[in-house]
Amino acid sequence: MEVFRTVEEMRAASEKWHAEGAKVALVPTMGYLHAGHISLVSRAHELADKVVVSIFVNPTQFGPTEDLDKYPRDFERDSAACEANGVDAIFAPTPDVMYASDFSTWVVEEKLSKPMCGVTRPIHFRGVCTVCLKLFNIVRSDVAIFGRKDAQQALIIQRMVRDLNVPVEIVTSALVREPDNLAMSSRNRYLSPDERKRALSLSRGILAAEAAWKAGEKDAQALIGIVKKSVEEGQGKIDYIVLNSQDTLEPLQKADKPALLAAAVYFGTTRLIDNVFLG
Amino acid sequence: MEVFRTVEEMRAASEKWHAEGAKVALVPTMGYLHAGHISLVSRAHELADKVVVSIFVNPTQFGPTEDLDKYPRDFERDSAACEANGVDAIFAPTPDVMYASDFSTWVVEEKLSKPMCGVTRPIHFRGVCTVCLKLFNIVRSDVAIFGRKDAQQALIIQRMVRDLNVPVEIVTSALVREPDNLAMSSRNRYLSPDERKRALSLSRGILAAEAAWKAGEKDAQALIGIVKKSVEEGQGKIDYIVLNSQDTLEPLQKADKPALLAAAVYFGTTRLIDNVFLG
């Protein structure tokens, strides 16, 4: 496994692989890898000959009051996990490699980025779109894999790729849960034992709503209510719980077309997200 | 010469050329080609094996009160000019090929786009950056040629390509003038005979300022004053006359580092631009 720190090294490797006729997949991450990330790596191996994992805690997607500085980092552990899972290369640039001091160009998605996480994180998806386009242009992968745990992010990246004709195929992969059903996230480590226990009310609510939907419940307020009740029992502080169209992320009255039931909830100071695709 | 109307056709041709080992150049235009455009085609032939001219009057770079509807179009004439100048393919999409009805992703350059034309045309460079990135992604050219007549545009595209790691080399080519020195522009056809005559005061002022600079004049206000005096003699209505740093487009007091002397002036209802690079 190779580790590239510069744009030039990463590009040269990708060019070489392409010249050899290999198909290249990218799994973009912020590191601190867990089983959710590894499932993306497995999917990447199914789809391509060479798998690149990028590890970059992207400063431009964090708001001024967010957790950039304390975001967990452990390159040795990540590197071992990549090696153990057959990753061909890690691309791990420093911020100055990615952002010149007079950097001034942004990719902005203006519709799907507005609701949900966009309400409280107004610059988040601008940072995500910009860094992902940069990574696609540097790695020049044929395919890139995104987890459906970050459902809004995956939909926005698909929209960006369509709108800007970016020559990469976006594949999404299922959300992965801990044995007790908590959605896997690098941020779970912030939780105290008590918060960790209460946080289960989020996945419990999401999964209960999914079960109700499968049993025939289509009413948005009823489905949202199931999540709300559960999260309130867990004393979570709700940022949002929505039932939105998968196409437009606009609110639905009824889950009578492909819908996304999604929530963001604080347990203590830690903000967790969870979701389920209905239809 | 081939004419492609769809993204898929254009991509397939470019892929085929690259597979054959050819280098591909793109000359992005809005059509109504003149000798300035043809000079870009000539430069493209020097730099690549295959030359693509895109012809697309991009609606998203026109403001609501600007000249989108009356912008001159003559595909037959453009096609003949491309054929006569050895162009390998024209890419001429319709707006619906370029912009889905729910298009929502923009490329925004936030520093170099602010002064000069950005003051009176606030969405112009957003449209230019977005369409150029799309064209780069569709044509996947190795190099793209931009005229220095649109100096601010060329600098912004270079910045965008650097910031977003777009895998294309941007080459700029000299401004081309009519025999009487008016900067060539598709918009010159809007001018009445009287306006056409008065418009010469703009190029005369720019060239006089350049001569003064060569003779040792470095003071910004003096150089700007030379252009201003000439344009006022031609009864032009000044939008801006600036002496800015070529790096940052910030105003200079003195032309003691690479500078851009640039102006936008109305003659009647027609807005013309002209410039000279000093140093």
Residue A105, pLDDT score: 98
- Collect all residues of chain B within an 8 Å Cβ-Cβ radius of residue A164: 105, 107, 130, 133-134, 137
Whether B197 and B270 have beta carbons less than 8 Å apart is answered as no
Crossing angle of helices A200-214 and A220-233, rounded to 10°: 150
Residue A214 is classified by DSSP as H
* pLDDT band, very low/low/confident/very high, at A203 (cuts 50, 70, 90): very high
Q: Specify which residues A260 forms β-bridges with.
A: A244, A277
Residue A264, pLDDT score: 98
- Collect all residues of chain B within an 8 Å Cβ-Cβ radius of residue A108: 105-108
Structural domain boundaries in chain B: 2-173, 186-278
Crossing angle of helices A75-84 and A35-47, rounded to 10°: 40
- Catalytic site includes residue B18: no
- Which CATH number is associated with domain A2-173? 3.40.50.620
Strand (E) positions, chain A? Answer: 2-4, 24-29, 50-55, 89-91, 105-109, 143-147, 169-173, 237-245, 259-267, 270-278
Task: Give the one of B102, B111, B134 whose C-beta lies nearest to A104's C-beta.
Answer: B111
Start-end of H helices in chain B: 7-19, 35-47, 75-84, 95-98, 117-120, 124-139, 151-163, 193-198, 200-214, 220-233
Stated as kind and residue range, the H or E segment containing A37 is: helix A35-47
How many CA atoms does the CB half-sphere of A277 hold within 13 Å? 16
- Collect all residues of chain B within an 8 Å Cβ-Cβ radius of residue A159: 104-105
Nearest CA-CA partner of A113 in A98, A132, A97: A132
Nearest CA-CA partner of B53 in B178, B154, B141: B141
Q: Which of B102, B125, B165 to mutate to test the interface with A (most CBs of A within 10 A)?
A: B165
- Does B186-278 carry CATH code 3.20.20.70? no
Residue A119, pLDDT score: 97
The values of phi and psi at residue B50, to 5°, are: -125, 135
User: Which one is catalytic: B18, B34, B37, B45?
Assistant: B37
- Collect all residues of chain B within an 8 Å Cβ-Cβ radius of residue A102: 111, 248
pLDDT in tens, B181-221: 999 999 999 999 999 999 999 999 999 999 999 999 999 99
Which ipTM score applies to this complex?
0.96
Q: What is the DSSP string of A200-212?
A: HHHHHHHHHHHHH
pLDDT in tens, B90-141: 999 999 999 999 999 999 999 999 999 999 999 999 999 999 999 999 999 9
Give me the total of CB pairs closer than 8 Å, taking one residue from chain A and one from chain B.
Answer: 78
Q: How is residue A134 written in tokens? A: 């940069």
- Is B133 within 8 Å of A7 when comparing Cβ atoms? no
Stated as kind and residue range, the H or E segment containing B263 is: strand B259-267
Residue A183, pLDDT score: 98
- Is B104 within 8 Å of A134 when comparing Cβ atoms? no
Whole-model pTM: value is 0.96
pLDDT in tens, A147-159: 999 999 999 999 9
For A233-254, what is the mean pLDDT? 98
Chain A residues whose C-beta is within 8 A of a chain B C-beta are 7, 11, 100, 102-112, 129-130, 133-134, 137-138, 140, 159-160, 162-167, 248
